[in-house]
Amino acid sequence: MGRIILLSYFFLSSAYALVPENIFQNDHDVLEKILANHTITRPYFEKLPSKDKFDLIKKDPRNLILDDFFVPNYFEKRVHFWFNVYTQYPSTSVVLHDTKDLNIVYNVIDFSELQNSIINKHTTYSLQVHYTKERIKRYREAFVNLSKGKKKDELQISILKSLDRAGYQFPSRKKRKRFFLNLSKNIRAQTGQKDHILQGYKNYLTYKDVIHRYFKVIGIPKELLAIPFLESSFNTKATSKVGATGIWQFMPFIGKLFLPVGKNHDARDNPVIATLGALHLLKQNKQILKRWDLAVTAYNSGTKHIVRARRKFKKKDMSLEYMLRHYRHPHIGFASSNFYSSFLALVHALAYKKELLGIQEDNEADLTFNSPIELYVTKCSFRPSKIYKLLKKSSPDFDLLNQHFKRNKYKYSRGSVIVSDVKLTPRKYFLLNDKHLRKNYPRNFKRLIKGQSCSTK
């Protein structure tokens, strides 16, 4: 993606040259013109928009959420912020906020006019990134001017109003400089996610039945379904610049501990197999850390630092709140400290998806498979392309269920895991039952065919 953005910047002027009214204007002028009437500042926490139902939803009025996942007072402001990101703002909106106190929101930039223009999507994305960086630069300059006590312009007044809404009392002159300079370092941009969550739910519906079954088999609360929405918006093609892939965003090292991963196959990319591996990981986290707030956070940052903090403070019953208040480590940064808050926001948004997102239970999935979807272990070596051809009529999208195989014509060894929405012959395929799924990590399924032979008759 980085290369695409760079190329878009390089050819920016030529892209605009195709639009007649922009022939004699530079890119920045054009962008300013497009966005002139679409940059909005909302009184975020002083007078919430009518669409914001957080105060009601956090109380769980219909008792849809386990008590383990209520919103503690310590996390409320953070959860509120992420709740709005997921339920109010689409990806055409960018929220400028403070990283230390999510109660401080300076502005919400609306890029919908830009997104609806005739400019191609890569250039549009580049322009959105470029403009956002420019706005942050201007805010930082305004913070510096405020620290020096210079005459206040419109932007500085806007900043002061945002701080006032957040309940901040302005420091004396002696402390003013450090106060505003610290704020200048903390400003951050967050893109809205509502449309991504809506699309993710359509993706999820394809695998809904099998995923619900796995939650019951492994014994995991249904609320943890929010994690793949948090990690990837349930995008089955999601990849990160640090090497995480799939809906659960398994990193390579952790993926290999729970899933079959090799040179020619990668179960991290398979929503069905990866879900089973993720549930085993979460169950393990809970067994080690004893609490869901810590177990969920460990999914993002690992258990090492949480266990280290627990030992340091000699608190076996340490809560996430206690850790975030007292434990300081470079590894516990913005993402780690906000992971549980954003998780809780999605738990509540998905529980009340009809009221908040307009999602109906009978919404259609993007793909339709036969039911039920089962896991098999191959007793014979095989080529995916041959299986796809044989099952084309009974399971037209069999290849999409098995996207963890990277080379269709490659001959894979016995012991490979196959996902199927049709019954496969027991002569060549070993069907995994609930006990197998509960007792074994997916990476170890191949052990279950030890002593079983392949029969081609």
Q: Which amino acid is at 361?
A: E
Cβ proximity of 219 and 283 under 8 Å: yes
Structure confidence by residue, pLDDT tens digits, 86-122: 999 999 999 999 999 999 999 999 888 877 776 677 7
Structure confidence by residue, pLDDT tens digits, 198-214: 999 999 999 999 999 99
Cβ proximity of 373 and 207 under 8 Å: yes
d(CA 198, CA 233): 8
CB neighbour class for 179 (10 Å; exposed up to 12, middle 13-18, buried from 19): middle
CATH of domain 194-357: 1.10.530.10
Determine which helix (DSSP H) or strand (DSSP E) holds 377, and give its type and residue range: strand 374-378
Determine which helix (DSSP H) or strand (DSSP E) holds 105, and give its type and residue range: strand 105-110
State the DSSP code for 89.
-
d(CA 347, CA 283): 18
Q: CB atoms < 10 A from the CB of 66, how many? A: 13
Residues 6+ apart with CB under 8 A from 164: none
Give the SS3 label for residue 383.
coil
Structure confidence by residue, pLDDT tens digits, 310-340: 999 998 899 999 999 999 888 888 999 999 9
Determine which helix (DSSP H) or strand (DSSP E) holds 39, and give its type and residue range: strand 39-40
Give the SS3 label for residue 418.
strand
The DSSP bridge partners found for residue 108 are 40, 95
The CATH 1.10.530.10 portion of the chain extends over: 194-357
Kindly indicate the confidence band of residue 368, based on its pLDDT and cuts at 50, 70 and 90: confident
Question: pLDDT at position 331, please?
Answer: 80
Residues 6+ apart with CB under 8 A from 392: 398
Provide the CB-side half-sphere exposure for 309 (13 A, CA): 24
Question: pLDDT at position 22, please?
Answer: 30
* In the predicted structure, residue 60 carries a pLDDT above the cut 70: yes
d(CA 92, CA 194): 10
Structure confidence by residue, pLDDT tens digits, 268-315: 999 999 999 999 999 999 999 999 999 999 999 999 989 999 999 998
What number is the average pLDDT over the span 380-388? 96
CB neighbour class for 428 (10 Å; exposed up to 12, middle 13-18, buried from 19): middle
* In the predicted structure, residue 166 carries a pLDDT above the cut 80: yes
Determine which helix (DSSP H) or strand (DSSP E) holds 189, and give its type and residue range: strand 187-191
Cβ proximity of 271 and 255 under 8 Å: no
Question: pLDDT at position 150, please?
Answer: 82
Cβ proximity of 140 and 184 under 8 Å: yes
Sheet holding 417-420, edge to edge: 417-420, 374-378, 429-431
User: If you average pLDDT over every residue of the chain, what do you get?
Assistant: 87
d(CA 340, CA 295): 10
Q: How far is CA 148 from the centre of its chain?
A: 39
Give the SS3 label for residue 98.
strand
